[in-house]
Amino acid sequence: MNQDYLDPINALNMPELADMTLAMDLLVRAKEGVRNAAIAVTEAASPEVRAYLRGQLRDSLALHRDVTELMVRKKWFHPYDLDEQYKLDQLSAKNTSMIAGMSLFPGDTSRKGMFDRTPDAGLRGDEA
């Protein structure tokens, strides 16, 4: 029998996995921002634009630092311990494969009986 992953009981530990995944995505985007700002500084023609872009570069570097520090503190990223980072990457790959194999849209999508009470009539839209 397939597990119903829409049932909240089957979402154990998912918020932590989601937080780690979103933080890693933010770190990658922050790194892209640093790279793009650095390239833009070298392409700018006027001193005013270069000064503005240097400010953007500083902000991008600060964001990258802050996200990296958060991830290291939460033990979601191990930039100085490659063995630990490898283990984390393996776990991430395993979790990704597991999620890809889930039947997230079961044939029976009825949520009847999952709530402690009947929704208010006004919320159902059937008030007369």
pLDDT in tens, 87-105: 999 988 888 887 777 776 6
Residue 31 CB neighbours (<10 A):
15
Q: Is the dihedral of CA 64, 18, 72, 96 positive or negative?
A: negative
Domain residue ranges of the chain, discontinuous segments joined by +? 8-106
Specify the pLDDT at position 50: 96
At 52, which amino acid appears?
Y
Q: Is the pLDDT of residue 124 over 60?
A: no
Residue partners of 23: CB distance under 8 A and separation at least 6: 67, 70, 71, 74, 76, 77
Using the structure block, give the residue that is written with the tokens 């500083």.
58
Question: In the 8-state DSSP scheme, what is residue 120?
Answer: P
pTM score over 0.75:
no
Q: Which residue has the higher pLDDT, 34 or 113?
A: 34
Q: Can you read off the two tokens belonging to residue 5?
A: 């992953």
* Residue 33 confidence class, pLDDT cut points 50, 70, 90: very high
Higher pLDDT, 116 or 33: 33
User: What local confidence, expressed as pLDDT, does residue 128 receive?
Assistant: 47
The answer to whether the beta carbons of residues 71 and 31 sit under 8 Å apart is: no
